Structure 1
Amino acid sequence: MSPQIDYVPETGSTNADLLARLLVNELVPEGYWLVADRQTAGRGRQGRSWIDAPGNFMGSTVVRLHDRDPSPGTLSFVAALAVYETVLPLLATPSALMLKWPNDVLLEGAKFCGLLLECERGHAVIGIGVNLAAAPQITDRKVRSLSDIGPAPARDAFASALAAQFATELQRWREFGAGPITNRWKAAAHKPGTPLSVHDGGGTALSGTYDGLTDDGALRLRLPDGTTHTVHAGDVTLEER
């Protein structure tokens, strides 16, 4: 079944719209996407805003959670891989694309994609924003768009390709479990031994080196004293050597 995509000229947040529908028990089928030309209250992780621009992709989809599904948190890897696989054929230099824990997709080392995973009433809502045509000016981090390094794809064509790829990755997640998904994610991510600084969910700042992932997708950070710290939520910065 082909994904269903509804396009709207403007909304506050596509994630908030889908969550509101679920809260009133509206049937939102798996495979449905809501895509906006403009968001006035786009949201990122940890309460950050997501700044849009004309021609960029901003959309959300719904996954119905089943008892036998892998951990819902690993859907962030599903979404990141869907973006990665959709963007990869568009690049003249595939090595310009890299994944960063927990759910970033980097283009030439800069953020160009945002992912937000939220759960409500037995469903996961996954919001994705991709800088196709333009990148916003952000003072505290490097950002890029696909148009910075080549022609930007048309938004609607990108939406169709991403929705199809997400459906493929979701089927693999259900059929084979989270292990193969996280293994593919690791192959496209920063390498073991990469210096990282992490602000975890409790506000603690730690520095060390990337030491892989746990079975449930948490980050393993090797500290300077040789011990390993497990991070389940937080912000990661790749440090310059």
Structure 2
Amino acid sequence: MDILQYDTIDSTNIEAKRLTQSGKSPGFAVMSQNQTAGKGQYGRAWQTPPGNLALTTVLPLSTNLALRPTIALMAGIAIQDVIEPYLTAHQRLQIKWPNDILINGAKLSGTLVEADHSAMYIGIGINVAYRPEHVPYSTICLSEFAEVRPEILAEQLVQSLVDYHQSWITDGFEPLIPLYQERMFNFGEEIQFMVDRENSEWIEGQCLGVDSHGRLLIEQADGQVTAHASGDVIIKKSNASS
């Protein structure tokens, strides 16, 4: 797959959309080691200082509407497969729902998945050389324990996404659920979950994993099991990542 490299860019997701709107077909990626206007989930700013990696992979949009909400979770598995070989023996790699990648509870990467009528855009931000500053959660970068070239990492990520995307299109998300839950942060544990951040509405309960639609399943104290398509697992900074 063609990977277009930029020294500095406003946003790899935005540039990828500009290219598809100009007629470029899905099946390419945009990368930069310096992103000035990156965004994460819910419109939050995502810092990509020089030396880190911002990567957007543009893939064909699934015609299966029921499958689309699971794109983010599929991407999380694909990213973790690439990062795992770089780890040392004492490091634990996990996915915080839906697709943040944590190392020993500290955030390494985040993913923003967007779609339009012609393609889906899987935007990945990875702390390669530097940790983000002034964020309310613990962070980590790859350079703390491994030598990583961002351009090589980008190639590995794109290939992993292409491979998982193909199996996801062919077989759906359901076969990936056991793999996702095996790697899931807080699986089977008590969690706090922010249902509505704007109104500070949250619940507590046991994380039961995810369903075939990618929704987070939480069993509350009264035995009620609720399924959530959006929201945030709350992790205090003293306990590591958010």
Question: TM-score surpassing 0.5?
Answer: yes
Gaps spanning 5+ residues in structure 2: where? Answer: none
| Equivalent of 2:114 in 89, 93, 118 | 118
Match runs of 1:31-50 below 5 Å:
32-50=28-46
1:39 touches 1:52 (CA, 8 Å); kept in 2?
Answer: yes
Distance of 2:217 and 2:79 partners within structure 1: 24
SS where residue 134 of structure 2 aligns?
A: coil
1:141 paired with 2:127, answer no
Match runs of 1:46-125 below 5 Å:
46-68=42-64, 71-93=67-89, 96-125=92-121
- Matching residue's letter, 1:19: K
Q: Which residue of 2 aligns with 1:159?
A: 154
Q: Which residue of 1 aligns with 2:225?
A: 228
Q: Which residue of 1 aligns with 2:7?
A: 9
Q: Give the fraction of aligned pairs with identical amino acids, expressed as a percent.
A: 26
1:77 touches 1:181 (CA, 8 Å); kept in 2?
Answer: no
Q: Deviations over 1:23-61 (max 9, x none)?
A: x3522322x110012111011000100101222111101
Distance of 1:163 and 1:135 partners within structure 2: 23
Gaps spanning 5+ residues in structure 1: where? Answer: none
- Matching residue's letter, 2:230: A
Using the TM superposition, give the Cα deviation of residue 68 of structure 1 relative to its aligned residue in structure 2, in angstroms: 4.4
Using the TM superposition, give the Cα deviation of residue 223 of structure 1 relative to its aligned residue in structure 2, in angstroms: 1.0
- Matching residue's letter, 2:9: T
Using the TM superposition, give the Cα deviation of residue 93 of structure 1 relative to its aligned residue in structure 2, in angstroms: 2.3
Distance of 1:139 and 1:33 partners within structure 2: 28
Distance of 1:37 and 1:191 partners within structure 2: 31
Q: 1:172 to 1:201 in 2, by over 3 A?
A: farther
Q: Deviations over 1:88-134 (max 9, x none)?
A: 11112275101111111101101110100111113211100111111
Instruction: Give the aligned length.
Output: 235
